[in-house]
Structure 1
């Protein structure tokens, strides 16, 4: 496992499993780890690779949201230091255990041939214990990390990490490069574009953006993804406003992403719209 330095003391490992980006941020006082992988065993590999950087002790771990590929590595860092702070948005921390347990129940059935299945099932789920609602700043001695909840999007508990002195933004799964944005049953498609507006306000034209999955991107990529998600949201609003029934919306709408990845998003969008923006279904 190798970490590549993308800016001053900001290292990224792009893991093959889930194409996940794991980030280490160094400062005078030590290292902060962001999204430490999808099992305790994988988290131990992350821990050892970060130790090999020689950048100092791990001072904190951050989860950008509650999904298991971003949180199941927490236990590996607690093994090494029972007092290491684990940071997340309050909603993400609250949901980490339930989400993780559902994944463990389903993983063997959904991934019967995955060599990682035993380690996913063996992982102890350790939710974050340092939470916030809006903004938190972590002090690494000679640099500050801004943790910001820009609003609901991929989940209700997304956070981004701004490293201002390096002009780097860690976007979590609010931004994805290697696949369409994950609009799952726990996503909020009507809010996501507005949340990305807040993310964009934290960037400059030169900002390096680290997505949750895939290659590094820039502000222009985030703007494009925001606009496509905006089309999803406005299409849902238009269809519901015209009285198109939910079970017909996918076929009737013109979508910027494949229909097969949008079923949950459309159902969630219809559910989240206020009654005033919906008409009775067309007969």
Structure 2
């Protein structure tokens, strides 16, 4: 890994957790740039949107849910396949684990490698990793849209397009005009783009924007209440993604290598985004993916612990 390690391996400070109501009986569990979870409560039960990284960490979500409702957790919805989002699902004892068909495919193709890679990169996000029973497998999947009836409340799950991954879904609560976006939207947090479709992501954001949400539970960063701040977050996410991809596209067109592309991306991105949560953690992975996509590699290459180290050596080396 060379003398200097990934920024994320030294990030060990505990984050302050906030559990706030962002719409009637809809809550956001946020933690200063760590992965968020959303909770949607209906007459018959609850949906948990994104599960946390370990059952032990999911129990922290459950504790807070029990401060606002004693209704059963019926469904865990996975916005995408990343380990930090899904490996805590077993703690909820839900009757269904819901994801897009594409997310199910990605778990088959790269779920184990992703787990190994993420755990190696960012150990703090896997508190009590021994409590993870294995990969999380969706039990209910859908192609483009599915509605869950929670009793007097319908929740629309939609695959609006690729972005953070090829399988991302959002949850829309029509009666409250609230959107759970997963990592398609971040707020004052860097987007992790290592498995992204950077050209398509802004178009998927346009689809979200058409809903004009009154509140958004983003993937990372504070809960967003009010249309002006939700629009700001969508615009900020779009700016991050397009700045990253644009700088890489220009570098590749000039024949630059990966190390040179990282330097060029920093020139564009550091002044705007270096204060964002996990910016340094994500940067090498983000530029690697942008470099690949701009070079014509349409589907993200699978990250493994070995590939992580090779990429890092390339960027640090000559």
Which fold has the larger relative contact order, with Cα–Cα distance below 8 Å and residues 6 or more apart in sequence?
2
Q: How large is the RMSD of aligned CA atoms in angstroms?
A: 2.8
Q: Relative to 1, partners in 2 of residues 1:115 and 1:128: Cα closer, same or farther, differing over 3 Å?
A: closer
Q: How many residues align?
A: 263
The offset of 1:161, in angstroms, is 1.0
Q: Relative to 1, partners in 2 of residues 1:202 and 1:270: Cα closer, same or farther, differing over 3 Å?
A: farther
> Is the Cα contact below 8 Å between 2:182 and 2:219 reproduced in 1?
yes
How far apart, in 2, do the equivalents of 1:116 and 1:254 lie?
Answer: 29
Q: Which of 86-95 and 249-258 deviates more? A: 249-258
Other-structure match for 2:42: 27
> Is the Cα contact below 8 Å between 1:154 and 1:173 reproduced in 2?
yes
> Is the Cα contact below 8 Å between 2:42 and 2:152 reproduced in 1?
yes
The offset of 1:172, in angstroms, is 0.5
Task: Please give the per-residue CA displacement for 1:186-239, whole angstroms capped at 9, x wherever unaligned.
Answer: 1111111111111111225xx212110111231122123224423444455555
Other-structure match for 1:7: 23
Other-structure match for 2:106: 95
- How is 1:255-270 mapped onto 2 (pairs within 5 angstroms)? 256-258=268-270, 260=284, 261-270=286-295
How far apart, in 1, do the equivalents of 2:130 and 2:81 lie?
Answer: 15
Other-structure match for 1:64: 79
Any stretches of 5+ residues in structure 1 without a counterpart?
274-283
> Is the Cα contact below 8 Å between 1:72 and 1:125 reproduced in 2?
yes
How far apart, in 2, do the equivalents of 1:223 and 1:107 lie?
Answer: 28
How far apart, in 1, do the equivalents of 2:150 and 2:59 lie?
Answer: 23
Q: Relative to 1, partners in 2 of residues 1:97 and 1:119: Cα closer, same or farther, differing over 3 Å?
A: farther
> Is the Cα contact below 8 Å between 2:244 and 2:265 reproduced in 1?
no
Task: Please give the per-residue CA displacement for 1:13-37, whole angstroms capped at 9, x wherever unaligned.
Answer: 1146x62221111111111111121
The offset of 1:129, in angstroms, is 1.5
Using structure 2 for the length normalisation, give the TM-score: 0.72
The offset of 1:65, in angstroms, is 0.6
Q: Relative to 1, partners in 2 of residues 1:249 and 1:109: Cα closer, same or farther, differing over 3 Å?
A: closer
Q: Relative to 1, partners in 2 of residues 1:105 and 1:252: Cα closer, same or farther, differing over 3 Å?
A: closer
- 2:202 alignment partner, one of 193, 204, 216: 193
Q: Relative to 1, partners in 2 of residues 1:122 and 1:74: Cα closer, same or farther, differing over 3 Å?
A: closer
> Is the Cα contact below 8 Å between 1:169 and 1:203 reproduced in 2?
no
> Is the Cα contact below 8 Å between 2:53 and 2:125 reproduced in 1?
no
